[in-house]
Amino acid sequence: MSILIAPSILAADFGTLNTEVEMLNVSDADYIHIDIMDGVFVPNISFGFPVIESIKKLSSKPLDFHLMIQNPDLYIDQCVESGAAIISVHYEACPHLHRTIQSIQQKGVKAGVVLNPHTPVSVLEDVIDMLDLVLIMSVNPGFGGQKFIENTYQKVAKLQQMAIKNPDLLIEVDGGVNLQNAKQLIESGANMLVAGSAIFASKNPLNTINEFKSV
Ligand code: DX5
Ligand code: ZN
């Protein structure tokens, strides 16, 4: 199976959002990655539910939600109503992570946990068997277009070892992912990649998505 690719809409041109989503619709992308930032958990604000509703209406691809917000529990229902196929919450924002995961899955949506660069994968030891996805941040969350953190490879490899208990686990990497580091990420154990600027700032985003799929 080729890896799953989730272009991050954050890097798209919001002035021509419909054209951007239509491009993704005809591409080989598997998901559209939706970055939600609240200006509190991360030092940036992205977009809110009205914009996400527009993306949902335009998109024929499933939506992969990445919640970079405090108190994500308050917004799970709204994310489900806005068409989320996957909802990922930050480990660092969830004091009752087990309950949060359960409440996402009870809505019939896949649940993921995101780890910031400083958070070791070992913190997930006691929940790994119930997770649909783990998202390893390869930059500090908050902004697109940052430099990839090299330590990510060994983190992904450790996670893959832990995932022996959960062979269907999606191992997603987000931040600074490009055609140069994708191969090593996949060899380390990643099976789902997010890419923002590597896709939308490229000359031909459709070709770039295609190249990611055939790495
Ligand atoms: C960072 C976001 C990423 C970002 C990826 O906070 O979570 O999804 O949009 O963009 P690139 O690929 O440009 O690093
Ligand atoms: Zn993201």
Amino acid found at 83: G
> Is there an atom of ligand 1 within 6 Å of 32 CB?
no
Please work out, in degrees rounded to the nearest 5, the angle formed at the alpha carbon of residue 119 by the alpha carbons of 196 and 91.
75
State the CB neighbour count (10 A cutoff) for residue 147.
9
Residue 202: predicted pLDDT: 98
24 contacts: CB under 8 Å, gap ≥ 6: 7, 9, 32, 59, 61, 209
26: confidence class by pLDDT, cuts 50, 70, 90: very high
Ligand found nearest the CA of 112? 2
Catalytic residue among 30, 38, 64, 174: 174
pLDDT in tens, 101-141: 999 999 999 999 999 999 999 999 999 999 999 999 999 99
Q: What is the mean pLDDT of the chain?
A: 98
Ligand 1 atom closest to 195 (CA):
12
**Position 1 pLDDT exceeds 60:** no
Compute the distance between CA of residue 92 and CA of residue 116 in angstroms, rounded to an integer.
8
pLDDT in tens, 180-191: 999 999 999 999
**Active-site residue flag, 132:** no
Ligand 1 atom closest to 66 (CA):
7
> Is there an atom of ligand 1 within 6 Å of 36 CB?
no
Do the Cβ atoms of 151 and 185 come closer than 8 Å?
Answer: no
**Active-site residue flag, 168:** no
pLDDT in tens, 150-197: 999 999 999 999 999 899 999 999 999 999 999 999 999 999 999 999
**Position 48 pLDDT exceeds 70:** yes
> Is there an atom of ligand 1 within 6 Å of 66 CB?
yes
Residue 2: predicted pLDDT: 82
Q: Is the pTM of this model over 0.85?
A: yes
Compute the distance between CA of residue 15 and CA of residue 27 in angstroms, rounded to an integer.
20
State the CB neighbour count (10 A cutoff) for residue 68.
26
**Position 38 pLDDT exceeds 80:** yes
